[in-house]
């Protein structure tokens, strides 16, 4: 059986939206990727089946959505020549009585896509407006899609945006 090899190098780009015109408070948005871009390699499979998806949950994201209105986090990607599938989701631990917002389902990252909501309804006050979570990337490929030797590796520039809702 021919195995499909796939590498997705994901670079998190921080993008802060301009302050609301009414107030000039700082917003914070930062990542901890544990040492640079993430590489996902789809290469294992059981004989007679499709390759096993590769996952990575080693990137933490932190925010302080100090906009004074409910806030959200969106995601998009640029991946020229994309041949394979890449998904992202956010896991946010419970954060007490201040509320924590609404985590959206896994998003498929497609080259040139519009921003998609990944986390919405971030509260306006402390402690709820501050939070953290883990980004979970999942790379998928099938035998029919080919492999990196035929198509080259996919490289994604993933953009997360923190903005007023």
pLDDT of residue 86: 95
Can you give the residue ranges of every domain in the chain?
7-164
**Of 133, 108, 139, which Cα lies nearest the Cα of 119?**
133
**Of 110, 147, 139, which Cα lies nearest the Cα of 52?**
139
* Contacts made by residues 146-150, CB under 8 angstroms, sequence distance 24+: 146/4, 146/83, 147/2, 147/3, 147/4, 147/5, 147/6, 148/4, 148/5, 148/6, 148/7, 149/5
Digit-coded pLDDT (tens) for 96-140 = 545 578 999 999 999 999 999 999 999 888 888 888 999 999 999
pLDDT of residue 136: 94
Go through the chain and tell me how many residues it has: 165
pLDDT band at 26 (very low <50, low <70, confident <90, very high): low
pLDDT at 43 over 70: yes
pLDDT at 23 over 70: no
Digit-coded pLDDT (tens) for 52-88 = 899 998 899 999 888 889 999 999 999 999 999 999 9
Indicate the pTM of the whole model. Answer: 0.79
pLDDT of residue 7: 34
Give dist(CA 14, CA 81) in Å, integer: 23
């Amino acid at each position: 059986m021919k195995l499909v090899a796939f590498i997705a190098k994901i670079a998190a780009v921080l993008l802060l939206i301009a302050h609301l015109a009414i107030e000039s408070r700082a917003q914070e948005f930062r990542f901890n990727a544990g040492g640079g871009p993430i590489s996902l390699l789809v290469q294992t499979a059981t004989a007679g089946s499709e390759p096993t998806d590769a996952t990575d949950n080693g990137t933490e994201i932190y925010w302080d959505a100090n906009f004074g209105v409910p806030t959200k986090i969106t995601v998009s990607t640029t991946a020229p020549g994309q041949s394979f599938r890449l998904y992202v989701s956010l896991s946010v631990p419970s954060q007490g009585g201040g509320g924590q917002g609404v985590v959206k389902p896994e998003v498929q990252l497609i080259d040139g896509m519009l921003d998609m909501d990944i986390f919405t309804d971030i509260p306006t006050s402390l402690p709820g407006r501050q939070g953290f979570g883990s980004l979970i990337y999942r790379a998928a490929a099938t035998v029919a899609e080919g492999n990196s030797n035929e198509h080259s590796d996919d490289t994604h520039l993933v953009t997360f945006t923190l903005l007023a809702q």
